[in-house]
Amino acid sequence: MKIRIMTDSTCDLNPEYLRQHDVTVIPLTVTLNGRDYVDDGVSLTPEDIFRAVGNGSDLPKTSAVNTASYRETFKEGLKSCDAIIHFAIGAEFSSCHVNAVAAAKGLPVYCVDTRNLSSGMGLIVAEAVDMVEAGCESPEAIVGHIQGMLDKVDCSFVLNRLDYLHKGGRCSMVAMLGANMLHLKPCIEVQNGKMVVGRKYRGSYERCVKQYIEDRLHNADTVNPKRAILVHTGIQPEAVANVRTVIENTFHFGELMETRAGSTISSHCGDTTLGLMFVRK
Query: Does one domain contain both 253 and 220?
Result: yes
183 and 78 within one domain:
no
Answer yes or no: is 217 within a domain: yes
Q: Is residue 125 part of a domain?
A: yes
Same domain? 9 vs 129: yes
Q: What is the pLDDT of residues 60-77, one digit of tens each?
A: 999 999 999 999 999 999
SS3 117: coil
In a domain, residue 270? The reply is yes
Is 82 within 8 Å of 5 (Cβ atoms)?
A: no
CA dihedral (279, 4, 27, 101) positive or negative: negative
pTM above 0.85, yes or no: yes
Most confidently modeled of 166-175, 200-209, 214-223? Answer: 214-223
Decide if 194 contacts 89 (C-beta within 8 A).
Answer: no
Tell me, yes or no, whether 146 and 173 share the same domain: no
Instruction: Write the CA distances from 25 to 4, 14, 141, 149, 279, integer angstroms.
Output: 11, 11, 22, 21, 22
CATH number at residue 85: 3.40.50.10170
Question: What total of structural domains would you count in the chain?
Answer: 2
Give me the domain span that covers residue 128. Answer: 3-28+64-150
Among 135, 150, 165, the domain-final residue is 150
CB-CB neighbours of 229 under 10 Å = 27
CA distance 112 to 120: 14
pLDDT at residue number 107 = 98
**Whole-number pLDDT of residue 174:** 45
Residues 204, 265: one domain? Answer: yes
Query: Do 121 and 224 sit in the same domain of this protein?
Result: no
Does 190 share its domain with 97?
no
Radius of gyration of the chain (CA): 18
> 9-65, pLDDT tens digit by residue?
999 999 999 999 999 999 999 999 999 999 998 999 999 999 998 898 888 999 999
**Which whole number is the average pLDDT over 163-170?**
58
On whether both 142 and 13 belong to a single domain, the answer is yes
- If you average pLDDT over every residue of the chain, what do you get? 91
State the pLDDT at residue 270: 85
Q: pLDDT class for 268, splitting at 50, 70, 90? A: confident
Domain-located, residue 35: no
- Residue 52 located in a structural domain: no
Q: Are 160 and 273 within one domain?
A: yes
Tell me, what CATH number does 270's domain have?
3.30.1180.10
- State yes or no: pLDDT of 171 exceeds 60: no
- Based on the fold, state whether residues 219 and 276 are members of the same structural domain: yes
Cβ atoms within 10 Å, residue 280: 13
Same domain membership, residue 16 and residue 134:
yes
Domain end position, chosen among 150, 165, 200:
150
User: Which of 101, 117, 150 represents a domain boundary (last residue)?
Assistant: 150
**43 occurs within a structural domain:** no
| pLDDT one-digit tens code per residue, 185-206 | 889 899 999 888 888 898 888 8
Over range 178-187, report the average pLDDT: 68
**pLDDT for 167 beyond 70:** no
Q: Are 213 and 240 within one domain?
A: yes
